Amino acid sequence: MKDGSTHTRWSAHTLATQLLLVFVFLALSWTSAKAQNAEELAEQQMQIMKQYMEASGMSENEMADAEAMFKDAMNPIVEKQAAEESKAAAEFESQTSGLGKASVSILGEEIEMRITRCETGKDGNFFVEAKKGTDRRKGHLTLRGNSHYNRTEAHLLSPGIGLYEVYISPIAMPEDGQFSWTGMAEGDRGPAELTIDLNCADGS
């Protein structure tokens, strides 16, 4: 009985160690490849790991030890990502200060973005870019003047909505850095009315 008990404890410890290594490796890989929030990912992996441990018959104490090991291993990853995000956010604020703002309305959502690039030439080949934050997937808008086709091309990407595009002919130019337009756009959830208001004048 003693040998069996020792073997069970050894097996549980080995399983916990293996699970810990696997989930930390997955967390490292996914946060790097997909830029997923490390804290949220750690919580997700913790819940999955607990299910495996419960199914293996590990005791509450053994599970608690394994969870503590996992948290200790993940904390530096979470803290590093938080520091990187804070630095990126500060740089984004500094780089976009004074460039202006863009407001987009579509499918009942109002999306406010900061302009990150504004080239409003008078030959029709202008380009304006706006983002919700450092991650373009949270909200991204481009407005491009294409004089060759005599049209303005607008592309909007936003979570929950997907990608929407519209080609405005004849070309619609920003005036004194300001642009306002409402019309139908085509996108991932079918046609929808899109409104774009932006001002990329200096100091706006």
pLDDT of residue 195: 97
Cβ(92)–Cβ(74) below 8 Å: no
pLDDT of residue 2: 45
For the chain, the straight-line distance linking the first and the last C-alpha, in angstroms and rounded, comes to 78
pLDDT of residue 33: 42
- The position carrying tokens 């405005």 is 168
Helical segments of the chain, H only: 2-34, 38-56, 60-96
pLDDT digit string (tens) for the chain, length 204 residues: 444 444 444 455 555 556 555 555 555 555 444 445 677 777 877 788 788 778 878 788 888 887 888 778 778 877 777 777 777 666 767 676 777 899 999 999 999 999 989 887 767 789 999 998 787 788 999 999 999 999 999 999 999 899 999 999 999 988 888 999 999 999 999 999 999 999 986 534
pLDDT of residue 64: 83
The two three-digit tokens of residue 179, written as one number: 């642009």
